[in-house]
Amino acid sequence: MNRRKLALPIAAVGAFALLISGCSSGGSGSESGSGDPNAEFEFWSFTGIGQKDSVARYLEENPDAKVKLSEVGSTTETATALTAALAGGRVPDLVMIQNDDLPKFVENPGNFVDLRTLGGDDIGDDYLDWAIDGATAENGSVIGIPTDVGGLTFAYRADLFEAAGLPTDPAEVAEMWSTWDKFIEMGKKYTAATGEPFVDNVETSVFFSTVNQVSEKYYSPDGELIYDENPEVEEAFDVAVRTYEAGISASIPAWSSGWAPGKANGAFAVTTAPSWMLSGFKTDAPDTEGLWRIASIPGVGGNWGGSVIAIPARADNPEAAWQYIKTMLSPEGQTEHFATTGTFPAAKDALESDEVRSYTDPFFGDSPVGATMSESVLQFSSFYNGPDTSAIGAALLNALVDMEAGNVKPADAWKTGLDSAKAAIGG
């Protein structure tokens, strides 16, 4: 395995103050862990991601096992709790870490069990290379096993496309916007025909997608910060600026008060759609069932999201935690979890399985959702991410938000983003 981390998403959930008492249910931190695979183990997870279902299935298959699941809170809250625990507090036996929080933990691999010692040197072979690389430290230690990834696609309103005289079939749409220049031209045609915006915003739907299609991002392969001089990053940012200048963006930020209503009332026709976001369409715009379609994004592949599960080095019951990983994160386990919850697998055999690739959803007009997302993550390439990747990305993204709000001129947005990034990382 090479030491190149996966592309990490800007966190969708903002940071919240963590009550220290939320950490108190972790393991005792005994140096000598139990070797009993059926010992009760403490599992820290995020809320709202289906781990209760996963644990229930595990207990059905392993009736002698005992799991104490603690849903700590948001991804940020869980990472904060883990940081406090690793600093000398009570650690869990098993913990979930979202990919955007992963670099800071990978830089200190001694805090975790090297899972090669439990599963062998070929432990990562079953998973997407870039996903396992993200959990691999400089010394080769594998601190986590990927639970899922976030296959990135675009969702679009077929009825609105038809009214604008544009194709509606996912394959034809993907061909028409196969490059970002073609995407902008397609948007111009839509807006000219309808008088309405084409895409919801340029910061998440455009910039976040383009900047994760580069060969090098904010760091060089050897860990040097290059975000302020990398032409690939500047070009990705420029695509977003040009999309805005084309007059085809609704300038409605993701998760803003107008975003959910916009899905329902046709305020925009296109928005980003990683796998974990699909259920949100059904919640936000239930009356649009059958009107949406799913197609691949312009360019080559994409990913937004994903997590790993790790075992802290001071865990009381590492063998029991490892038994859970072996069972639930195997290709078969991830395929079954996808069928139950829609969580998109990181295991290569699962991504190639009929269950995943044949998946469709009537809400999205029976678009080939599984096949499209599988191809997206299989084509996605990796690049090095460091501890400041998330902060830099947030600064650049926020500069585009300010541009769309009319607070920053398009010509000044790039410099504004760089200045904010330097301030954020103390550079």
Phi, psi of 170 (to 5 degrees): -55, -40
Tell me how many helices (H) and strands (E) the chain has.
19, 7
pLDDT at 170: 98
Contact 79, 98 (CB under 8 A): yes
Pairing of strands 144-157, 270-274: antiparallel
**Domain 151-303+366-425, CATH homologous superfamily name and number:** Periplasmic binding protein-like II (3.40.190.10)
pLDDT at 341: 83
Q: What is the mean pLDDT of residues 184-200?
A: 98
pLDDT at 31: 40
Alpha-carbon distance of 36 to 42, in angstroms, equals 14
CATH 3.40.190.10 in the chain is located at: 20-149+304-357, 151-303+366-425
Has residue 3 got a pLDDT over 80? no
pLDDT at 314: 96
Tens-place pLDDT, residues 78-129: 999 999 999 998 999 999 999 989 999 999 999 999 999 999 999 999 999 9
* Those residues with Cβ within 8 angstroms of residue 60's Cβ, 6 or more apart along the chain or in another chain: none
Closest residue by Cα to residue 329 from 107, 149, 136, 60 = 149
| Distance linking the first and last C-alpha atoms of the chain | 31
Has residue 8 got a pLDDT over 70? no
User: If phi over 0 gives left and psi between -120 and 50 gives alpha, with beta otherwise, what is residue 344?
Assistant: beta
3-state secondary structure of 112: strand
pTM for this structure? Answer: 0.88
| Topology classification of domain 20-149+304-357 | D-Maltodextrin-Binding Protein; domain 2 (3.40.190)
Alpha-carbon distance of 290 to 26, in angstroms, equals 45
Tens-place pLDDT, residues 273-299: 999 999 999 999 999 999 999 999 999
